[in-house]
Structure 1
Amino acid sequence: MSTSETAPARDHSGLILTAIAVSQLMVVLDSSVVNIALPAIRADLGFSPTGLSWVLNAYMLTFGGFLLLGGRAGDILGRRRIFLAGIWLFTLSSLLAGLAPNAWVLVTARALQGIGGAIASPTALALIATNFTGPARAKAIGVYGAVSGAGGVVGMILGGVLTQWASWRWTMFVNVPIGLFVAALATRHIRASERASGRFDLAGALLSTVGVTALTYGLIRTPQHGWDDPQALTALAAGVVLLVAFVVVESRHTAALMPLRLFTHRNRVSANLLLLLLGGTTFGLFFFVTQFLQNILRLDPFEAGFAFVPWGVGIFAFSHLVKPLAERFGVKPVLIAGAASTAVATIWLSRITEHSSYWTAVFGPMTLFGIGVGLQFALITRIALSDVPPQIAGAASGVLNVAQRLGGSFGLAVLVAVFGSVVASADHNPVHIAHGYRVAFFVGIGYALVALLLAVFGLTTAAKPASRPAPGLAEASA
């Protein structure tokens, strides 16, 4: 690997960080901006009620399935090269999605968007690990965390604005100027890197991509068809078998797609598990709070999007406070505080009824949850990338992204299945629906409490990074 990739970028570090942060905003925003537009998409392109879900599922399938491959491709082929490939694919497929004349073209374009996002997202995080060092890296990861957390809320608001005052097609077109801006910045300011020596792990790439895709498909199918659905069970079983085979192959490969030495570090394993649990809690709460706002409080999509502002404000504000808080109190106490905040927020949400109002039942929990995510995300990312050699930083970033994505898919599938079992025989009475939301939130409490226990007992040190970083919580060596 060339020294140009590993050397800290000082002259243009602000522009490099802008390119990375905006690219992550584009990918995260796309996951939520389309949600508000779904009814308009269905009316315009003639989707069936079940077929409409593939506007979201096509993106989730390819994004989850190609994350490991995308992360490792940056290590082997050069990060700027792969980052730009992902950005261009995402941008062009967004243009295709906005121009889609029928349902089939839109679903295909969304799948291509997912592949582009899976290539760009882990590579963007790896670029932080290899272009920034010391306090600059902590700041860069804080910005990355704030954008990753708040992007979903921005997407909800932007989706409502564009759909109501323009067209659903602009929820796709909006990515085009953003992608062109990122590509221009990256081409000009991110240093090119040489191809790393070593063979590409084709067997690992195939097994991981098909395995994660099968697992993701099974998880997104269960809410609609139940956990006893033959296709869902077959996909889940196939995913597990393929991923076990993937681990076996990786243990024997000299240039593994996912080097197993990433999992020999207790704090790194704990960080990935924390993000998996946080993803499950976040995806589930995001989904059910949206339903509560529209089905019980009868807010329109535009109002429902703005109802998430406290969540985004909490994430953005506390992502910037993480560094001084960690320097004063230590990394572990701040993580515990964040996990406790999300647990309290989930417990609070489990008390909603059909008579609850936004200010008494949603505003407070959303603020607390945003604070909790803001405190956790950047620190989890720093821990997961700590002491990772630069040549496998992309693989470590891919694993972290997969943990979040699978955690979100699995967490949402379980909560939706629980909700469906509670309201299956009920009518559309708000009393029954609100009861189903409460039960789903109770399951979410379980995720949040396990994450809290993991923060308390999983991490091995409470070092203060500003003074004497202990192994595992120190900044990664560049």
Structure 2
Amino acid sequence: MTGNTTTQAPADTASSPRTRWWGLVAISLGVALIIVDSTIVNVAIPSVIQDLGISSSDAQWVQETYTLVFAALLLVAGRTGDRLGRRRLFLMGTAVFTLASVVAATAASGALLIAGRLLQGVGGAMILPTSLSLINANFRGPDRARAFAVWGSTIGGTAALGPLLGGWLTSHLSWRWAFGINLPLGILVAAGVFLLVAESKDPHAEHGVDLLGAVLSVIGFTGIVFALIEGRTYGWWQIERPFSVFGARSAEGLSPVPVALALGVLALGAFGAVELRRNHQGRTALLDLRLFTIPSFRNGNIVAGVVSLGEFGILFSLPLWFQNVLGYTAFDAGLALLPLAVGSFAASGLSAVLAPRIGTINLVLAGITCEIIGVAGIGLILSPHGSGWQVAPFLLIYGVGVGWATAQITGIVLTDIPVTRSGQGSGIQSTTRQVGSALGIALLGTVLFTTLGTDLRSTLLNHGTPADRASALTTSVQSSAGTSIQPLLHDPATRQAGKLARESFTTATSVAAYTAAGALTLGLVAAVRLKRRLAPTNESIATSRTP
């Protein structure tokens, strides 16, 4: 039987349909909080450095600690939700995230701010997979597709809204409000989920804890995500800048990146061996390997991971281009990204009409195609003398694609997962997307800055700049992620170099956009293969499960 049958221990269905939809609003607002928090801090960092007097290295940890902890705990959180109750874990995560936001908002030092960000990551990891499993448990049929569409559009839209909100709060109030705003919103989310969302969990959850599996998975995903995010910063082999945490500094020589990557790969290899043995022995396992016998889940995760690789990478490079090439403020850069959010939210309403007519997988294909058109169009239209208005139509198309592809592929991944295993399935799907996103940011960041350095140095030399001066200027623009371009433009002595840097940064951003389009094209191919492999009916693991 399929995972959508009524024999699967569904969630408490006492709530009315209207109550469930209002509950979805509360769930979506909770998801919005954790997604915004992954981008809102970027534009506030300069103010944080000035106010707290922290080093650039500590500022880096303020940005990345959240992402690292968040990605590392998704799998553990999803499985825990199946056992303890998904609504309970969602509420616990909301409480942790809200209290951690208060710690961050009132932090008097960099150490306290990093600690707050770490706890935010813990709370966020508890919220995301349980939000998916709650939707999977509380909605059926066409309503489930609509609910996933709202969830997906929330992720796509709020990811673009983060820089806008962060820029406005930082400019008009304080960077502390980028965290402080989570207090009233967190209380609202907790009240809404508690009152409006039915509880669900696995009534046959095994006794015992897979502590070794949990530890190995956390170490593995932390190491891999750290390496993917920080490779460009610290060097992929030789260390390129000092690596320090709370004043402890690394020695010269080998970068921490290959060490973290090797540790992560080894830990995940050991994790796989442990889970295989525990599954074979019938013992409690963090990862139920039988889930991967379901074609829609197995192949859907492949598509989700590949698409994530190219999906949000543009949100890394485009804000830098707006601010450093066009001279936009952080708030203006966020405003220029607004069409992406509009397109994503608009796609939510359209998908509710289109999915029943053309099929979920066809909507995924249409969404990925829109993403490719949008990203490739951005690469084509970029000009150092352009404006946000020129990019807006392609951002709108891209946003529509995100709204369709993100939500509907999630629905496909979970469609045949038994409700009793939806937390674990959601955790795997969320982890796949997070690792894919980290890989995408690492790939596009490397492409962006490698192209920038190569093109700028060559251009400077062609314009008669001495080799040592060209190297110095190139290093300055690269290491500052382009923030030195505007000062170069405003100084008459370096204006020509600033113009050349602006052109090279535009070229590099276009190449990064084309690379993202290429990754999305691979995702489109994977989605086409998924469409061919999906059988009319998939046998659920529920029939083979031993209580």
TM-score, length of structure 2 as denominator length: 0.81
Name the counterpart of 2:493: none
Please, which of 104, 107, 127 is the counterpart of residue 134 of structure 2? Answer: 127
Distance 2:191 2:256 in 1: 44
Instruction: Kindly state the Cα deviation for residue 472 of structure 1 after the two structures are TM-superposed.
Output: 5.5
Name the counterpart of 1:400: 429
Please, which of 394, 398, 409 is the counterpart of residue 380 of structure 1? Answer: 409
CA change 1:338–1:189 in 2 (3 A) is closer
Name the counterpart of 1:44: 51
CA change 1:6–1:384 in 2 (3 A) is farther
Letter of the aligned partner of 1:278 in structure 2? Answer: V
Equivalent pair of 1:19/1:186 in contact (CA under 8 Å): yes
Name the counterpart of 1:467: none
Please, which of 265, 274, 290 is the counterpart of residue 249 of structure 1? Answer: 274
Distance 1:125 1:93 in 2: 23
Name the counterpart of 2:537: 471
Name the counterpart of 2:451: 422
Range with bigger deviation, 217-226 or 309-318: 217-226
Aligned: 1:86 with 2:87? no
Range with bigger deviation, 107-116 or 432-441: 432-441
Name the counterpart of 1:447: 519
Letter of the aligned partner of 2:433 in structure 1? Answer: Q
Aligned: 1:266 with 2:295? yes
Instruction: Kindly state the Cα deviation for residue 8 of structure 1 after the two structures are TM-superposed.
Output: 6.5
Range with bigger deviation, 319-328 or 201-210: 319-328
Instruction: Kindly state the Cα deviation for residue 166 of structure 1 after the two structures are TM-superposed.
Output: 0.6
Distance 1:380 1:179 in 2: 28
Aligned: 1:299 with 2:328? yes
Name the counterpart of 1:318: 347
Aligned: 1:220 with 2:236? no
Name the counterpart of 1:15: 22
Letter of the aligned partner of 1:220 in structure 2? Answer: I
Distance 2:367 2:63 in 1: 29
Equivalent pair of 1:8/1:131 in contact (CA under 8 Å): no
CA change 1:110–1:341 in 2 (3 A) is same
Distance 1:62 1:176 in 2: 21
Distance 1:438 1:192 in 2: 47
Equivalent pair of 2:202/2:421 in contact (CA under 8 Å): no
Equivalent pair of 1:331/1:462 in contact (CA under 8 Å): no
Equivalent pair of 2:152/2:407 in contact (CA under 8 Å): yes
Name the counterpart of 2:385: 355
CA change 1:340–1:3 in 2 (3 A) is closer
CA change 1:431–1:205 in 2 (3 A) is same
Please, which of 104, 110, 118 is the counterpart of residue 111 of structure 2? Answer: 104
Distance 2:196 2:519 in 1: 41
* 1:114-143: CA deviation from partner (whole Å, max 9, x where unpaired): 010001110111111112222222222121
Equivalent pair of 2:297/2:417 in contact (CA under 8 Å): no
Aligned: 1:275 with 2:347? no
Instruction: Kindly state the Cα deviation for residue 71 of structure 1 after the two structures are TM-superposed.
Output: 0.6
SS at match of 1:424: helix
Note the residue ranges of structure 1 that are not aligned, 5 or more in a row: 464-469
Equivalent pair of 2:73/2:122 in contact (CA under 8 Å): yes
Letter of the aligned partner of 1:224 in structure 2? Answer: T
Name the counterpart of 1:466: none
Aligned: 1:459 with 2:531? yes
Distance 2:286 2:132 in 1: 17
Instruction: Kindly state the Cα deviation for residue 88 of structure 1 after the two structures are TM-superposed.
Output: 0.5
Instruction: Kindly state the Cα deviation for residue 167 of structure 1 after the two structures are TM-superposed.
Output: 0.5
* 1:234-288: CA deviation from partner (whole Å, max 9, x where unpaired): 1111111111221222222233212112222233223222222232223310011
Distance 2:362 2:209 in 1: 40
* 1:372-408: CA deviation from partner (whole Å, max 9, x where unpaired): 1111111111101111112210011111111111111
* 1:201-227: CA deviation from partner (whole Å, max 9, x where unpaired): 212111111110111111111021232
Count of aligned pairs between the two proteins: 469
Instruction: Kindly state the Cα deviation for residue 441 of structure 1 after the two structures are TM-superposed.
Output: 2.1
* 1:288-333: CA deviation from partner (whole Å, max 9, x where unpaired): 1111111111111111111111101111111221132122222232
Structure of larger gyration radius? 2
Distance 2:269 2:534 in 1: 34
Distance 1:129 1:145 in 2: 13
CA change 1:284–1:215 in 2 (3 A) is same
Name the counterpart of 2:213: 204
Range with bigger deviation, 74-83 or 98-107: 74-83
Distance 2:386 2:112 in 1: 42
Please, which of 244, 250, 259 is the counterpart of residue 234 of structure 1? Answer: 259
Letter of the aligned partner of 2:237 in structure 1? Answer: D
Equivalent pair of 1:266/1:459 in contact (CA under 8 Å): no
Distance 1:371 1:431 in 2: 29
RMSD: 2.3
Aligned: 1:327 with 2:352? no
Distance 2:514 2:341 in 1: 23
Distance 1:438 1:137 in 2: 38
Distance 2:234 2:98 in 1: 33
Name the counterpart of 2:374: 345
Instruction: Kindly state the Cα deviation for residue 458 of structure 1 after the two structures are TM-superposed.
Output: 2.5
Letter of the aligned partner of 2:510 in structure 1? Answer: R
Equivalent pair of 1:333/1:462 in contact (CA under 8 Å): no
Equivalent pair of 2:101/2:120 in contact (CA under 8 Å): yes
Please, which of 393, 396, 399 is the counterpart of residue 370 of structure 1? Answer: 399
Instruction: Kindly state the Cα deviation for residue 100 of structure 1 after the two structures are TM-superposed.
Output: 0.2
Distance 2:532 2:294 in 1: 10
Letter of the aligned partner of 2:21 in structure 1? Answer: G
Letter of the aligned partner of 2:419 in structure 1? Answer: P
Distance 1:92 1:214 in 2: 27
* 1:76-115: CA deviation from partner (whole Å, max 9, x where unpaired): 1121221111110000000000000010100110010001
Structure 1 stretches of 4+ with a deviation exceeding 4 A read: 1-4, 192-196
Name the counterpart of 2:168: 161
Distance 1:455 1:8 in 2: 37
Equivalent pair of 1:7/1:131 in contact (CA under 8 Å): yes
Please, which of 65, 75, 78 is the counterpart of residue 71 of structure 1? Answer: 78
Equivalent pair of 2:296/2:416 in contact (CA under 8 Å): no
